[in-house]
Amino acid sequence: MKHVLIGATDHPGKLEITAAGWDGRILKMSREAYTDWLAVQREEGAESIRTSCVCLLHADDFERQQPEHRTLGIAHIEALSTHDASREFGANGWALALVFTSAGDWMNLAHARRIEQRFREWALAANRYDLEPAVGGAYGPLGGHDEHFVEAYLAPVREVLRFAGVDVFQPNPAAVYTHKQESLAGRPGYVASLRIASTIKRTVEILEGSQLFVRESRESIAAVRDLVNAGAATFDALSGVITFRRSAEVPVQEPGSTILGTFLGRWLSKNGLPLKAAFTVG
């Protein structure tokens, strides 16, 4: 991304974010400024955006917010003149509004719905916010020409937001993924939890107190031996269960993308998203 531009507009408290070579614009406003601006949009002949768009409402700073305020509202908007944020998102603790639209006049309702859908996928993978509404709509396929417009629009969005200091789609390093093994044939159930240490190095940190049944392979046996020798865990060879005495970093093992023999897809975030998505999201 060569140039991301953040500039003031003719409405108090509203900033416009654009980027060189990108046919998109993002309007960033406080809750108060957004409410005032929507009121202006409803006045006859005053609507400044005549395309469809996608709106995100959230707390301004994820790290400083209480859990009950970590909600991200995502919705497509056919016409700003009829949009009512309070009705759609209620009185939840959002403080910042982001309105995504096209720089040209091509974005229609079908485009906005597809962009909303992709935003929801990104937000789930980032694992920062609880989504509102919790379940998005299912929308039909776009034509080839429309698909091209949407993909070109989406390609730089996360990088533009990162340059602008907006964290909504940035991975949450504190997110916890859990794997629960139910009791079977007299064997008790086990629960293990982890955080991502590095998606680049493909490592995770399994948290203290976790218990995991180890599915045998050359790689998993070697990893267990290293953990036990380091004093990070104990291993019961009879039951095949490893118990973590302290949190420890473990590599994602190949082939098969497993953690001590358990596939990434079996570790789930609080949003129900498998760990595999965090390593593969595009």
The residues, any chain, with a CB within 8 Å of residue 187's CB and separated by 6 or more, are 213, 239
Tell me the CA distances in angstroms from 237 to 191, 224, 243, one per residue in order.
Answer: 18, 11, 11
Q: Please answer whether residues 123 and 168 qualify as being in contact, where contact means their C-beta atoms are separated by less than 8 angstroms.
A: yes
Confidence of residue 219 (pLDDT cuts 50, 70, 90): confident
Q: By C-alpha distance, which of 199, 180, 204 is closest to 260?
A: 204
Please say if the pLDDT value at position 37 is more than 70.
yes
Could you please report the per-residue DSSP string of 25-89?
EEEEEEHHHHHHHHHHHTSTT--S--S-EEEEEE-S-GGGS-GGG-EEEEEEES-GGG--HHHHH
Q: d(Cα 233, Cα 107) in Å, to the nearest integer? A: 54
pTM: 0.72
Please say if the pLDDT value at position 62 is more than 60.
no
Give residue 144's pLDDT: 82
> pLDDT by residue (tens digit) across 168-179?
888 787 789 999
Q: What percent of the chain has pLDDT over 70?
A: 85
Give residue 181's pLDDT: 87
